[in-house]
Amino acid sequence: LEGGAESETSLDRELQIIERYVEIQRVRFEDKLQVDMEVADSARTCAIPPLLLHTLLENAVKHGFETATSMPLHVRLSASYEHSTLKLAVSNNGSLAPGHESGEGLGLRNLSARLQARYPGRHHFEIVERNGLVLASMEIRAPRLLVA
């Protein structure tokens, strides 16, 4: 999009899309997939680029199934909004694929570029493997708040 501009949606709307995606994956993988979501009400009105969080969740499911050494695959999504900062995190019990720790996967590169274009100097994104979990987390300082 011209000048890095793109539409935005509320986190709440993004979560509605994610819930449908999770329903489909649960049918597909049955008892091999467990997804837990913990979302603070205060985070739901934060504006984010569409499919931003969905990208992280989809990566966690796809790469988690490729790398997890035991089933079920546990995926956890959390969102909070405190001190004018939106914090989003997705974790799974897989391991990092080579190159992903530096954000070299196509989906992660695109996500990083979208964050940089939209929130220059106001965001942080990282993906790490720690204590048997892969954790992708991002923080967005002073996101726009949408009226509910």
What's the pLDDT tens digit per position in 70-118?
999 999 999 999 999 999 999 999 998 765 555 557 778 889 899 999 9
Distances from the Cα of 29 to the Cαs of 12, 57, 71, 91, in angstroms? 25, 15, 11, 18
Radius of gyration of the chain, Cα coordinates, nearest whole angstrom? 15
The pTM of the full predicted model, rounded to 2 decimals, is: 0.89
**Which carries the bigger pLDDT value, residue 19 or residue 3?**
19
Confidence at residue 4, expressed as pLDDT on a 0 to 100 scale: 43
Q: How many helices (H) and strands (E) does the chain have?
A: 3, 7
What pLDDT does 99 receive?
A: 56
Three-state DSSP at 144 gives coil
Residues 18, 23, 24, 25, CA torsion sign: positive
Using CA atoms, how far apart are residues 22 and 17, in angstroms rounded to an integer?
Answer: 9
Determine the average pLDDT of the residues in 127-135.
92
Per-residue pLDDT at 3: 40
pLDDT of residue 29: 95
